[in-house]
Amino acid sequence: MTIKRRSLVLSLAISPFVNWNSVMAASGDSNKLVLTNFTLDEPYFIGESGWRGFSDRVMGGISDAAFGGDDIAGKKCARMTGDVTRESNGGFIQMAMSFGGRDAQLDASGYDGLELLVYGNNEDYNVHIRTADCGWYDQSYRATIFAKPEWQIVRLPWDAFKPNGLEAPLDIARINRIAILGWMREFKADISLAEISLYR
């Protein structure tokens, strides 16, 4: 399923509460907390989190994006594709999961970082975290991953995320949003996410 619109492309399912039995079924590993698992018969999302696709068209850019469910190399996943361009003051497409406003945050204390199961196209992608300390839209904590055209597990320790536009250190007890982006250069983006977790 691929639905293409100008800015908001698609919202994937939202769960109203944390079902801890589902968490264990989604992982089976006590050393990680699954935030999203698309590989199951019915995708799992922790809490009120869900995934949505956006492009820079929300702020006047002209990058194109498509976001939806897919099956890549035998795994169910969420896939984001598009043409990223810096024209018209743009430069990004993204898929993002939010944990709610300032009163609905993810507490990642006790975990060492993020683990992603991704499939790409030999390109760099950004991973951005926003916390309750982030106000302006450009404020976030940022890391870069290289996504090969095969399923790979990528681990990002918290110290891999560098602040942009703010001085406050990353507060992993108050995470509001996690996003994967095709970011600030001219290229064709194609990245799929099967699972994202906290690891320790």
Tens of pLDDT, residue by residue over 28-61, are 688 999 999 999 999 999 876 789 999 999 889 9
The answer to whether 87 and 67 have CB atoms below 8 angstroms apart is no
Which CATH architecture does the domain made up of 20-199 adopt?
Sandwich (2.60)
Q: Report the share of the chain in percent with pLDDT over 90.
A: 75
CA dist., res. 56 & res. 184, Å (int): 10
CA dist., res. 190 & res. 120, Å (int): 6
Q: How many CA atoms lie within 13 A of 165 on its CB side?
A: 14
Amino acid at 90: G
CA dist., res. 28 & res. 34, Å (int): 10
What is the dihedral angle through the alpha carbons of 110, 111, 112, 114, rounded to the nearest 10 degrees?
Answer: -160
pTM for this structure?
0.86
Alpha carbon 106 to its chain centroid, in Å, reads 14
Tell me which residue of 21, 1, 25, 29 sits closest to 13, measured CA to CA. 1
Tens of pLDDT, residue by residue over 64-115, are 999 999 999 999 999 999 999 999 989 999 999 998 655 678 999 999 999 9
> If you average pLDDT over every residue of the chain, what do you get?
87
CA dist., res. 18 & res. 40, Å (int): 16
Q: What average pLDDT score do residues 170-185 get?
A: 96
Better pLDDT: 194 or 48 = 194
The answer to whether 193 and 36 have CB atoms below 8 angstroms apart is yes
CA dist., res. 176 & res. 3, Å (int): 26
Tell me which residue of 101, 88, 94, 170 sits closest to 129, measured CA to CA. 170
The answer to whether 78 and 12 have CB atoms below 8 angstroms apart is yes
58: helix, coil or strand? Answer: helix
DSSP state of 159: G
The answer to whether 36 and 178 have CB atoms below 8 angstroms apart is no
